[in-house]
Structure 1
Amino acid sequence: MQPLPPIETVDLFPILNDHLLDLLRRLAPDDWQRPTVCKGWTVKDIVSHIVDGNWRRITLYRDHYQSPELPVIDSYESLVKYLNQLNQDWVVATRRLSPAILIDWLAQTGPVVYELFKQQPPFEAAPFPVAWAGEETSLNWFHIAREYTELWHHQQQIRLALDQTDVLMSAELHHPLLDTFMRALPHTFRHVSAQPGTLVTVTVTGPGGDTWYLLRQDTQWALVQGAGSLQPAAAVKLDGAIAWRLFTKGLLADDARPYLSVSGDQTLGTPILRMLSVMA
């Protein structure tokens, strides 16, 4: 059984950016102040956070600059705490800026980020690992796919607040998101015991949905391409409209449970309810 192939997301960045700009340019003033699933953040706050991410990517890739004020980060928890404070500081500082400025910045930075990502050799080491997948070193293609999921899910949080989510649920845009998120499965199952050869399948329904195959090998779990004649010990099915929210901490496990079904061994199916594909 072969491992999963890399995920190609680079050329999806301008599509995402155009969709967001088109949405934002049509918003009424009150729409910018709508609350979102990000506690304490409005639509405008999330837009500002997206812009912040773009400026940081340009700072890193184009200017090769890092803040001299980086704290000591010696654990996953300290990294999450640092990122949360970094994000909040920017959002609070930019609340005094107009939506028009944020739109201008988004239009300015989005194409630059796309060009910078196109220049990165996909199989060379990325500047940061994808920690939620349990990696200490990641390749550029995976890091860029992770960045794609960041932009996708933050835009979808905006769209959820505005009841305009359909455009990002196309197979073209949704499947790469799910495929990237599912790379967290082996790390999520790392403490789940099973005999070598045990198979768990995870199916996400709806446009862009698919089935992923998680196989227990001698000492670890691994995602593989298909399972041949091997029958799953547990088959998980999850509603596609719910999956992205669950994996980005936008929905509690208990609230997602009614949208999840597990056939077979329940102890091998329910760990997906605690899977996170964001730094949280």
Structure 2
Amino acid sequence: MALRNLTRGLFQLATHRRFYSSIQQQVFTRKLVLNNQRFTSVRSFSSVQTNEKAYKDLNQFLDKEIQLERVAQKHPTNLPAIQGFEVTTEGPEVTLIRQSGKEKVTIKFNVTNTVNAADSDDEANLHAPDRQQSDAEVTQPSSQLKSRPTFTVDLNRGGQTLSFLCSYLPYDYPDVPEQNKGGENHPQPGENENEKLEDFQIDEFAIHEGDWNESVYSADCAVIDGELYDKLLNLLEEHGIGEDFANQLIDFSTAYEHRQYIGLLEKLQKFSKK
């Protein structure tokens, strides 16, 4: 995925070049034939020809693009683990489930449209705002693209469900901890020195029976009491949904989204070969 910043632009240029089948239609010519004081119109049209050049060009490009994406995979065989949860996937949808005593914890998210190149640029700027890049760094992607999905958390208890809608904090948020500030997980020199730990926020919460839909009232956490918000964060933390979980989820989502992207390229190639 590290190469996607370089290859995506080429990919867009290749896919945006459209080669239409040439429709050679001669402008019909009217031959006016004088016949018994009447004019007769004679029209001639050329046949429509199919041009497969666009598919051939696309297929040749995809041969290289798919290979580059496979080489760039950080987890080509096994996806990263999310501790304490059973993980199931269906297409781009991911479900995490854990039974905690009488409570069932369910987390869901979708990896579609969760990679943002602008976020990676912001992250790189935060790491080294005053440092000049070397020539080698200029020619390389600034950082790996990450999948940062919004996700829902359902705590099912006694027939009711307490639901949270959560999203990741922006990179420039001042309270997001950095991995290189010490602590038990302090990396060794040269190992993820500039990588920032991720954290999330609660956007909404609600209590309901059955599905969480538009008929269920939910509260916007931007306007609730600050102490109540902290209590809700502590509740999630006690259920294993804290900073460590946030980082494990991004690792998993990034690797899984990359697989989905490669799979989409492979489907596109099969389509171009038909």
Tell me if both proteins adopt one fold, taking TM over 0.5 as the criterion.
no
Q: TM-score, normalised by structure 1?
A: 0.29
Q: TM-score, normalised by structure 2?
A: 0.30
Which is higher, the Rg of structure 1 or of structure 2?
Answer: 2
In terms of fraction of residues, the more helix-rich structure is 1
